[in-house]
């Protein structure tokens, strides 16, 4: 039972990170119907920004953790959002109206470019960061095995909940969110009621990248080591999460992320750690067979 | 004479070898309903598509002059036509945001006003500054329209779930919520029954009387066209063949010919007719 609880805690933490990245996939798919394959690498860029800013802050002697965290968060989010915005501007906007395959290939190209860019400028080796927020609480202890909940995990949960609630509200009841949903349904019509579609799409990329940056920061702090390749694996997992939850749906992305996180944690806890990805993707296959629109996705009803 | 609200000059739209609209000129005035009629394929919707930025005209100038300035519609991008020049339109096949609620359809049409009130900043969206007041205002306007089109009780339903006639009226209300100076309606009476058509007439006449905007109307339903138009422009094969008041149009032989076809036996030269008669074919 203790072991189970520990895996649950670990799974939820992992799931929160996947969920935050998955939201970016889901929102972009919702609005322009394209899988932004570079999104995982945007997450990686976010992680690197967080790491670099931490090191700079340490060098400057700003070591009071809450202040340092706040600065890192702001800088990483702003810079990563700038990357997200630029990727859309450079690689996708010129292809708007082109066949669907074109932006998809462009996205894969962007992904490779970002990976290589970071590999070249930062090196291929893993970058360690000393533990910034150590410690935690021991929930239960029995026979030498203890269930631990680290502060870092708590912070990840709290941040995720706040962000998801915030963005759900943003989409549901602000002018920006309404514009986004209008573009999702009928881009041409949205422009006819005076919505600047390009700006709305850019905003979507900026929001997605900001969330990915937060996820990147959390991963940097949680695992303490990052490299240029983390975006690929996390991106594929988060994409799976978005599809699992129902792509285009924001709560669906979060739910999918949680599920993938839990599946991974339990599978590696009880079966074999080598096959955890097989389990996650296996569930995806099953869901796609029995519920092709994902768990929370709305099926397309065709009127005849 | 002051400049009319809309002046279309020498509008021509070619698609490859096909000339959909051929050198059409007309004007539309504020406070008037100007109808564009003509047989299928006459180029009516193409004119609308040029006006609202779907197509860039091959030739022609589309100038809109209002209290807010003068705009050349052919040079504006899609959303700026609604945002700056303030032209709104509806579609032959209704294009509501079917997955949004009825009320949201009317609020999203007031997007620009809301974004201006928010100053395009995030803090404003969270409720600081004038944004909250602007949003209340937008909801108020939307409610007003719902009352006018008699849909208050369905405000929170999805727009796609409304019956056809209600969707038509909602689409007009949504177009009006963008605060236009020119409203382009593409066959608003299509698919409506007789009672709904009369309601539509009343709605359009009410808009003309109370909102001080110009209305351009494409319509096949002659009871609507003849009943409420101030001026009628007739297109046939992309050309303007007549323009005038409903009474003038009804009496115009060119228009009758365009709709009903030539009366062939009258047009045959007398000697040909005589030949045919001799062979017993006539």
The domain of B172 spans 91-178
Expressed in angstroms, the distance from the first to the final Cα of chain B is 55
Q: Does A170 touch chain B (CB under 8 A)?
A: yes
Residue A19, SS3? helix
Buried b (16+ CB within 10 A) or exposed e, A213-244: bbbbbbbbbbebebbbbbbbebbebbbbbbbb
Domain count, chain B: 2
Residue A269 lies in a domain: no
Which pTM does this prediction carry?
A: 0.85
Q: What is the pLDDT of residues A33-51, one digit of tens each?
A: 888 999 999 999 999 999 9
Residue A300 lies in a domain: no
Rounded to whole angstroms, the maximal C-alpha distance in chain A is 68
Q: Does A146 touch chain B (CB under 8 A)?
A: no
Nearest CA in chain B to A197: B79
CB-CB neighbors (< 8 A) of A96 in chain B: none
CB contact under 8 Å between A193 and B111, yes or no, is: yes
Segment of A101-115, A236-250, B33-47 carrying the highest mean pLDDT: A101-115
What are the DSSP E strand ranges found in chain A? 127-128, 136-142, 145-150, 225-226
Whether residues B133 and B80 share a domain: the answer is no
Nearest by CB to B100, which of A176, A182, A197? A182
Q: Does B22 touch chain A (CB under 8 A)?
A: no
CB contact under 8 Å between B88 and A193, yes or no, is: yes
Distance in angstroms (rounded) separating the CA atoms of residues A172 and A176 = 9
Expressed in angstroms, the distance from the first to the final Cα of chain A is 53
**Is A132 a residue whose pLDDT tops 90?**
no
Select from B154, B178, B202 the last residue of a domain.
B178
Q: Does A174 touch chain B (CB under 8 A)?
A: yes
Residue reference for tokens 């365009």: B258
**Is A303 a residue whose pLDDT tops 50?**
no
CB A183 within 8 A of CB A69: no
Q: Does B144 touch chain A (CB under 8 A)?
A: no
The domain of A107 spans 2-229
Nearest CA in chain A to B77: A191
Range in A140-144, A217-221, B268-272, B274-278 the model is least confident about = B268-272
How many contacts, defined by CB atoms under 8 Å, are there between A and B? Answer: 77
What is the four-CA torsion angle of A24, A27, A30, A36, rounded to 10 degrees?
-20
Whether residues B120 and B70 share a domain: the answer is no
Contacts of A262 (CB under 8 A, 6+ apart): A8, A11, A12, A15
Distance in angstroms (rounded) separating the CA atoms of residues A157 and A151 = 10
| pLDDT of A16 | 93
CB contact under 8 Å between B83 and A196, yes or no, is: yes
Residue B209 lies in a domain: yes
Whether residues B101 and B172 share a domain: the answer is yes
CB contact under 8 Å between A194 and B107, yes or no, is: no
Nearest by CB to A191, which of B79, B114, B175? B79
CB contact under 8 Å between B97 and A189, yes or no, is: yes
User: In this prediction, what percent of chain A has a pLDDT beyond 90?
Assistant: 40
Whether residues B171 and B200 share a domain: the answer is no
Q: Looking at the complex, report in whole angstroms how far the Cα of residue A78 sits from the nearest Cα belonging to chain B.
A: 14
Average pLDDT, chain A: 88
Of A209 and A300, the structure prediction assigns the larger pLDDT to A209
Residue B271 lies in a domain: no
Nearest by CB to A192, which of B78, B107, B114? B78
Q: Looking at the complex, report in whole angstroms how far the Cα of residue B119 sits from the nearest Cα belonging to chain A.
A: 12
Q: What is the pLDDT of residues B166-212, one digit of tens each?
A: 899 899 999 999 889 999 999 888 888 888 888 888 898 899 888 88
Q: Does B54 touch chain A (CB under 8 A)?
A: yes
CB contact under 8 Å between A194 and B111, yes or no, is: yes
Q: Does A97 touch chain B (CB under 8 A)?
A: no
A285 CB neighbour count, 10 Å cutoff: 9
**Is A300 a residue whose pLDDT tops 90?**
no
Residue A239 lies in a domain: no
Of B268 and A77, the structure prediction assigns the larger pLDDT to A77
CATH number of the domain to which B162 belongs: 3.40.50.300
Residue A214 lies in a domain: yes
Q: Does B190 touch chain A (CB under 8 A)?
A: no
Residue B268 lies in a domain: no
CB-CB neighbors (< 8 A) of B177 in chain A: 193
Q: Which of B108, B115, B137, B174 has the most A C-beta neighbours within 10 Å, making it the best mutation to test the interface with A?
A: B108
CB-CB neighbors (< 8 A) of B115 in chain A: 175
Residue B100 lies in a domain: yes
Residue B279 lies in a domain: no
| pLDDT of A162 | 93
Domain count, chain A: 1
CB contact under 8 Å between B97 and A185, yes or no, is: yes
What are the DSSP E strand ranges found in A180-228? 225-226
Complex ipTM more than 0.95, yes or no: no
**Is A135 a residue whose pLDDT tops 60?**
yes
What are the DSSP E strand ranges found in B103-260? 182-186, 214-218, 231-236, 239-244
CB-CB neighbors (< 8 A) of B183 in chain A: none
Q: Does A188 touch chain B (CB under 8 A)?
A: yes
Whether residues B174 and B190 share a domain: the answer is no
CB B215 within 8 A of CB B51: no
pLDDT by position in tens, chain B (length 282): 578 888 888 888 888 888 888 888 888 888 889 999 888 888 888 888 888 888 888 888 888 888 888 888 888 887 888 888 888 999 888 888 888 889 999 998 888 878 777 766 665 555 566 777 788 888 889 999 998 888 888 888 888 888 888 899 899 999 999 889 999 999 888 888 888 888 888 898 899 888 889 999 998 888 888 888 899 998 888 888 888 888 888 888 888 887 776 655 555 667 766 776 776 654
CB-CB neighbors (< 8 A) of A185 in chain B: 97-100
| pLDDT of A269 | 86
| pLDDT of B42 | 84
Q: Does B123 touch chain A (CB under 8 A)?
A: no
Q: Looking at the complex, report in whole angstroms how far the Cα of residue A193 sits from the nearest Cα belonging to chain B.
A: 5
Residue B282 lies in a domain: no
Residue A156 lies in a domain: yes
**Is A304 a residue whose pLDDT tops 50?**
no
Whether residues B39 and B79 share a domain: the answer is yes
Residue B259 lies in a domain: no
Residue A280 lies in a domain: no
Q: Looking at the complex, report in whole angstroms how far the Cα of residue B10 sits from the nearest Cα belonging to chain A.
A: 24
């Amino acid at each position: 039972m203790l072991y189970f609880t520990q895996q649950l805690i670990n799974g939820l933490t992992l799931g929160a990170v996947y969920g935050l990245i998955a939201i970016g996939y889901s929102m972009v798919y919702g609005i322009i119907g394209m899988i932004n394959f570079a999104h995982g690498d945007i997450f990686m860029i976010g992680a690197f920004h967080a790491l670099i800013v931490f090191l700079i802050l340490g060098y400057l002697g700003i070591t009071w953790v809450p202040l340092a965290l706040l600065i890192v968060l702001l800088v990483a989010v702003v810079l990563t959002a700038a990357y997200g915005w630029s990727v859309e501007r450079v690689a996708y906007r010129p292809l708007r109206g082109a066949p669907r395959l074109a932006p998809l290939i462009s996205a894969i190209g962007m992904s490779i470019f970002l990976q290589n860019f970071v590999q070249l400028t930062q090196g291929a080796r893993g970058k360690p960061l000393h533990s910034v927020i150590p410690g935690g609480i021991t929930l239960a202890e029995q026979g030498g095995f203890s269930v631990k909940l680290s502060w870092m995990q708590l912070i990840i949960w709290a941040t995720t909940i706040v962000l998801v609630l915030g963005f759900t509200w943003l989409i549901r009841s602000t002018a920006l969110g309404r514009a986004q949903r209008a573009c999702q349904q009928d881009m041409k019509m949205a422009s006819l009621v005076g919505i600047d579609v390009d700006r709305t799409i850019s905003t979507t990329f900026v929001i997605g990248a900001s969330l990915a940056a937060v996820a990147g920061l959390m991963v940097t702090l949680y695992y303490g080591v990052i490299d240029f390749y983390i975006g690929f694996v996390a991106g594929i997992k988060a994409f799976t999460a978005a599809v699992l939850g129902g792509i285009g749906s924001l709560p669906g992305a979060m739910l999918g992320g949680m599920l993938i996180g839990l599946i991974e944690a339990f599978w590696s806890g009880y079966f074999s750690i080598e096959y955890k990805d097989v389990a996650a993707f296996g569930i995806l296959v099953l869901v796609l067979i029995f519920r092709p629109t994902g768990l929370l996705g709305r099926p397309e009803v065709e009127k005849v | 004479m002051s400049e009319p609200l809309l002046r279309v000059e020498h509008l021509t739209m070619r698609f490859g070898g096909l000339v959909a609209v051929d050198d059409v000129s007309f004007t539309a005035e504020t406070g008037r309903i100007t109808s564009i009629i003509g047989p299928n394929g006459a180029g009516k919707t193409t004119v609308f598509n040029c006006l609202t930025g779907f197509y860039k005209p091959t030739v022609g100038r589309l100038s809109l002059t209002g209290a807010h300035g003068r705009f050349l519609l052919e040079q504006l991008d899609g959303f700026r036509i609604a945002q700056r020049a303030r032209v709104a339109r509806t579609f032959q096949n209704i294009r509501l945001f079917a997955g949004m609620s009825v009320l949201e359809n009317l609020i999203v049409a007031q997007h620009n006003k809301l974004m201006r009130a928010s100053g395009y900043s995030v803090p404003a969206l969270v409720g600081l500054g004038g944004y909250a007041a602007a949003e209340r205002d937008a909801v108020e306007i939307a409610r007003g329209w719902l009352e006018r089109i008699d849909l208050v009780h369905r405000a929170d339903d999805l727009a796609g779930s409304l019956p056809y006639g209600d969707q038509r009226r909602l689409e007009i209300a949504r177009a009006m919520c963008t605060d236009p100076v020119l409203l382009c309606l593409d066959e608003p009476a299509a698919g409506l029954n007789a009672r709904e058509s009369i309601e539509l007439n009343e709605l359009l006449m009410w808009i003309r009387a109370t909102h001080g905007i110009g209305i351009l109307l494409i319509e096949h339903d002659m009871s609507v066209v003849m009943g409420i138009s101030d001026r009628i422009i007739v297109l046939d094969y992309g050309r303007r063949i007549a323009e005038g008041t409903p009474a003038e149009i009804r009496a115009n032989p060119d228009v009758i010919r365009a709709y009903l076809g030539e009366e062939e036996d009258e047009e045959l030269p007398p000697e040909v007719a005589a030949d045919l008669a001799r062979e017993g074919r006539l």
